[in-house]
Amino acid sequence: MLRTPLFDLHSELGAHFTEFAGWEMPLRYRSSIKETLAVRNCCGLFDVSHMGRLTIGGPDSLKFLQLVATNDVDIEPGRSRYTLILNEDGGIKDDDVVFRIKEREFLMVINAGSREKIINWLTKVKEDRHFDVDLEDVTFKTVMIAVQGPRSTEFLSSLLNLPKIRRYRHKEVNYRDDRVLVSRTGYTGEDGYELIFHNADYAEEVFRKLANLGVEPSGLGARDILRLEAGMCLYGQDMNENTTPIEAQLEFVVRYDKDFIGKEALLRKKEEPPLYLRAGIRSRTRRSPRCGSKLFYEDEEVGWVTSGTFSPTVGVGIGMGYLKRGLSKPGTKIKALVSDRQIEVIVSEMPFYDTTIYGYRRRVQ
């Protein structure tokens, strides 16, 4: 199994490990629920070095990325954008964040489980269409940590000379003799930063110092709860190569006014409305819907759950899944079958938490 350069530090901090996409990663240090609440209310700290990091450079880099990404990545250097990569049939190959570093230099952060697949795909597109681009997998040359939560600016500022960075923007920041890419992004719904170090020792030092300051080291357990509370998809679980952006309700990152791989298939599919659409559901109690649970409206089977857990922020079970089109009105009463027993759930808007109190859009206190 692969390990990140921070593995020994995680052991020292008491992490329980789990296998994820071939990596041995912290699942939790003490409690996933406490870690989740620390991120929502204060600040948490994640090693996300397992995520794939690719650099894309060269004269054709923009043209190349515009063809593989559904979103418009012709953005100013210093900005980043969430996008999908589709196959020729309009199915989702991965969801990613593209950073424009310089005019002809991009960084793409991809799902750990999709890294090899996406590298192969990009290499194939590059070769088939003779693009003059340089692709490099820098996953093993860099360390990526995420500092997430309403107090993340305050904590990070005490360790490095943090300039003002707006959401979905990034800057290079000096830390000792390293140039660290600091990005105001994350996968928790909260305000926060993701930092990419070249020097693993410095990454470890920053991680340790933040933990010593009281920032909660948090594992994949908390990360999964946080992203689900925020209504964010997990690739491979909530969507895959057979899911279109239409079904996954991710069309907001599809730009039909440009050419991209999968566009034709997607336009054909748009002629017929989809049978199922991704929707959020919430339980009336602490009982949670679970991945694989079937959904029923009255006695009719109307969909299935792809992610489900207990939300410590909301205090009830939450989930997302695919529901027959027409039933996605918030408040619609449905039932989820969890190990032969029914639990009552209602269709819910996402994020599941009150966005005036939690999340990066919260009112400043």
Partner 1 sequence: MNDVPEDRYYSKTHEWVLPVGENKAKVGITGYAVEELGDITYLEVRAVGSEVKAGERIGTVESNKATEDIYAPVSGKIIEINKEAGVVEEGSSEFSGELERISEDPYGEGWIVVLETFNMKEELKGLMDAHEYVEMLKKEQK
Q: Which residues bind partner 1 (CB under 8 A)?
A: 16, 27-28, 31-33, 221, 224-225, 285-288, 290, 309-310, 312, 317, 338-339, 341
DSSP class per residue in 204-219: HHHHHHHHHTT-EE--
Least distance to partner 1, CB of residue 276, Å: 23
CA angle 201, 207, 209 (to 5 degrees): 100
Report the residue number, 16 or 141, with the smaller CB distance to partner 1: 16
Token couple for 142: 């860099």
Least distance to partner 1, CB of residue 341, Å: 7
Bond before 351 cis per omega within 30 degrees: yes
Report the residue number, 118 or 228, with the smaller CB distance to partner 1: 228
Report the residue number, 113 or 308, with the smaller CB distance to partner 1: 308
Longest dimension (CA), the chain: 64
Least distance to partner 1, CB of residue 309, Å: 5
Least distance to partner 1, CB of residue 314, Å: 12
What are the CA-CA distances from residue 253 to residues 154, 189, 248, 315 (Å)?
A: 31, 17, 11, 31
Q: Which residue has the tokens 């990545």?
A: 73
Report the residue number, 73 or 230, with the smaller CB distance to partner 1: 230
Cβ neighbourhood burial of 358 (10 Å; 0-12, 13-18, 19+): buried
Report the residue number, 18 or 199, with the smaller CB distance to partner 1: 18
CA gap 292, 297 in Å, rounded: 16
Least distance to partner 1, CB of residue 287, Å: 6
